[in-house]
Amino acid sequence: MSLRNLKELTIIAKEAFSKMFLVAKSLCFLHVTNTHVFTVASLYGPSMLPTFNLTGDWALAERFSHKLGKVGAGDIVILKSPVEPRKIMTKRVIGVEGDSVTYVVEPKNSDRTETIVVPKGHIWVEGDNIYNSKDSRNFGAVPYGLLRGKMLWKIWPPKDFGYIGKKEQNS
């Protein structure tokens, strides 16, 4: 092997390492962004009808306001399920710690209501479709630590693209 071939191999190796390092930095940037700043959530299921469709909706969620205590009633959040920890859910915040929440216990069967005060460090969440949603009415108030983000924008389907604002709560 000549010196000339060795120099060419060295140049190729340096360029390959440089490209590999760029790819690694890009992947690290994407990981940090997805974990701590923004994430895209694929939504499915009937619990958030009519806000989201049964299948195929995508939304952009930010991941920092819940860490700063900036989640309030009317916000749509993503959270870990308190009963199935591997499952991520999308629900609307109905009340935060200290709020008094009145809810229909079994909307399919009766109009019986109960009122609770949301405990410290917890939130009360419900799906927009109360007739087909597993939410705080089933498993109680959710610890704040299970929150994973707050929905900002609906990005798919294109006809529904736009900001997801707070829904006014009935008082």
Task: Considering the candidates 25, 26, 80, 91, report the single residue annotated as catalytic.
Answer: 91
First to last CA, the chain: 83
Go through 18-34 and write b for each residue having 16 or more CB atoms within 10 A of its CB, e for each that does not: eeeeeeeeeeeeeeeee
Active-site entry in 47, 133, 136, 150? 47
H or E element: which one contains 135?
none
Q: Cβ distance 47 to 127 under 8 Å?
A: yes
Helix (H) or strand (E) holding 147: strand 147-156
91 noted as active-site residue: yes
Active-site residue 150, yes or no?
no
d(CA 112, CA 134): 18
Contacts for 116 with CB less than 8 Å, ≥ 6 apart: 100, 101, 103, 124, 141
CA-nearest of 116, 114, 58 to 90 is 58
Catalytic residues: 47, 91
